[in-house]
Amino acid sequence: MNEARPTGGADGTPSAVLQLRSISKAYRKGQPAEVHVLKGVDLSVARGETIGLVAPSGAGKSTLLHIAGLLDSPDDGQVIINGRELVGAPDHQRTVVRCHEVGFVYQLHHLIQEMTALENVVLPQRAAGSRRGPAEAWARELLERTGLGDRKNHRPAELSGGEQQRVAFCRALANRPSLLLADEPTGNLDPATSDSVIAVLMELVREIGVSVVLATHDRTLSERLSRRIRLKAGRLVDGSNLS
């Protein structure tokens, strides 16, 4: 395996938070057929940019996000986060980057049911080495900013769906990542709750300065982001004129 190596401008500054270069991925379904989900995908995400990745279910959005977030590996291509190429990096280095530089939000919140909202947001910070006092203070601040200050001691089963997803956003942002990846984060919410959750998220990511790639099949949601792209037949195309 190769150590991750920096890439970027002549002064060493990373040219983007995330760069995907010629990403390809296929899954074998029976012998000998293969399903080519991603075909030479290229994507560059600037600092502070918010991108809507639009495609129908089954088009490969989750696969692309999992590769971008180092949860899966491509068959071919490069994943560069903050100037470091990570496809060939050792597992421990990929884990460190996932922990400190990438936040991930799923359609299902995946909160730990035995923990309170506060404890769920503290957990990733403690895993990253933060001391308990500062971790709890930042978790309380995040929950306050998302309207959950009075719900911090409630467990997930005591929260509504929208409240649970807001806790999940707080958890994903707890380590102040430079990149947030969200996979259909409002897919299980009604439209009104979805709007309120996304409004809170967008205000928070602007304050923190996080780059966002949000996968959705909801065009209205994608229009709230700074740029739209579409995944079609395994390739990314401009999503400005979706049909």
Q: CA dist 155 to 54, 112, 115, 174, Å? A: 33, 8, 6, 18
d(CA 18, CA 114): 34
- Report, as an integer, the average pLDDT of 230-237: 90
Q: pLDDT over 90 for what percent of the chain?
A: 62
pLDDT at 114: 96
Position 88 pLDDT exceeds 90? no
Position 176 pLDDT exceeds 90? yes
H or E element: which one contains 227? strand 227-232
d(CA 140, CA 114): 18
pLDDT at 2: 35
pLDDT at 33: 66
